[in-house]
Amino acid sequence: MDIILQYFSDFTETQLAQFGALQKLYSDWNEKINVISRKDIESLYERHVLHSLAIAAAANFNDGCEIVDIGTGGGFPGIPLAIFFPNVRFLLADSIGKKLKVVEDIAAAIGLKNVEVRHTRVEDIKDRKFDFAVSRAVAPLGDLWKWAKPILRTGHQSEEYGNGLICLKGGDLSQEFAESGLRPRMLPVNMLFDEPGFDEKYVVYVPR
């Protein structure tokens, strides 16, 4: 996890222990369920944890903020963000139950108290509102916004951004953005983290 400490400091002992435990926990689970690509598991901290924390580098969420992770899969970006922001509440949602078992187990193993897991499609959430939705490589931007917009409240629960959708995407996004009808703000991840693996990866923001 040294790569995380190159870019972030001021972690508590609890946060350091939580981040440090992720490699073994995900490696053990990956032997049972293919949570992360086999070729990626050795690069867990760079390709998954640090990549997820690009959202934290771009947006400092206020204490008490509520965030939904759309299609969390194995817990990215939700688990790293929940460690980073212990006073922010996260709902990690996915339609694939077996991966959520991994997320529940890892959150319990590292003592995350600010995470709730729900086996659902985000468009079926009717009982909650959130300040932000986050996501990583789940669906086209237009679909993400269609799912997120109804459950986002207006407001300003971040120093940098008004409430909205913040997602991680990669590649040439011009056609996807054109089809969405949206005009998102883009921040290249390699402006946050000087690592070759983050070329053509972006933090994408759509305001509520």
Query: Could you read off the pLDDT of 3-15 as tens digits, one per residue?
Result: 999 999 999 999 9
> 35: pLDDT confidence band, cut at 50, 70 and 90?
confident
Residue 38: predicted pLDDT: 78
Backbone angles phi, psi at 207, to 5 degrees: -75, 145
Give CA–CA dist 69/169, Å, rounded. Answer: 14
Backbone angles phi, psi at 68, to 5 degrees: -110, 135
Give CA–CA dist 103/73, Å, rounded. Answer: 8
Tokens of 2: 């040294």
Mean pLDDT of all residues belonging to the chain: 95
138 annotated ligand-binding residue: no
Residue reference for tokens 């237009």: 142
Residue 3: predicted pLDDT: 96
Q: What is the span of the domain harbouring residue 52?
A: 2-207
- For residue 39, pLDDT beyond 80: no
198 annotated ligand-binding residue: no
Would you say 121 and 95 are in contact if contact means Cβ atoms under 8 Å apart? yes
Q: If we measure between CA atoms, which residue out of 55, 79, 86 comes closest to residue 165?
A: 55
Residue 165: predicted pLDDT: 98
Give CA–CA dist 193/53, Å, rounded. Answer: 10
Q: Report the CATH number that the domain containing residue 122 is assigned in CATH.
A: 3.40.50.150
Number of domains in the chain: 1
Residue 43: predicted pLDDT: 92
Give the chain's end-to-end CA distance (angstroms, integer).
34
Residue 33: predicted pLDDT: 85
66 annotated ligand-binding residue: no
